[in-house]
Amino acid sequence: MRLSDREVYAIDDICSHGAVSLSEGDVVGCELECWMHGSRFNLRTGVPSCPPATTRVPVYAVRLVGDTVYVTATPTPAEELPA
């Protein structure tokens, strides 16, 4: 998700509650809302901010080099994410 020229995030595309594609949802602030049940996931941490989801979705480290976005293939461990 690109929120601005310098603010880019990558999270898993599958909702931890409904197992549907999150890329079909809407971005609200720094959260991605699942189109099916309305759960919102923080783009920085993957943590859900409202039910019905209770489990975070994986997030991936992102690096910008010019206009190119690089995303790691391995999710960032939860203990390494911002609080």
Q: 22-52 burial, b if ≥16 CB within 10 A, otherwise e?
A: beebeeeebbbbbebeebbbbbebbbbeeee
Residue 81: inside a domain: no
What is the domain range of residue 9? 2-76
Q: Is residue 83 part of a domain?
A: no
> Is 19 within a domain?
yes
* pLDDT of 16 above 80: yes
The model's pLDDT over 43-71, given as tens digits with 9 standing for 90+, comes to: 999 999 999 999 999 999 999 998 899 99
Confidence of residue 21 (pLDDT cuts 50, 70, 90): very high
**How many structural domains does the chain have?**
1
| CATH code of the domain containing 68 | 2.102.10.10
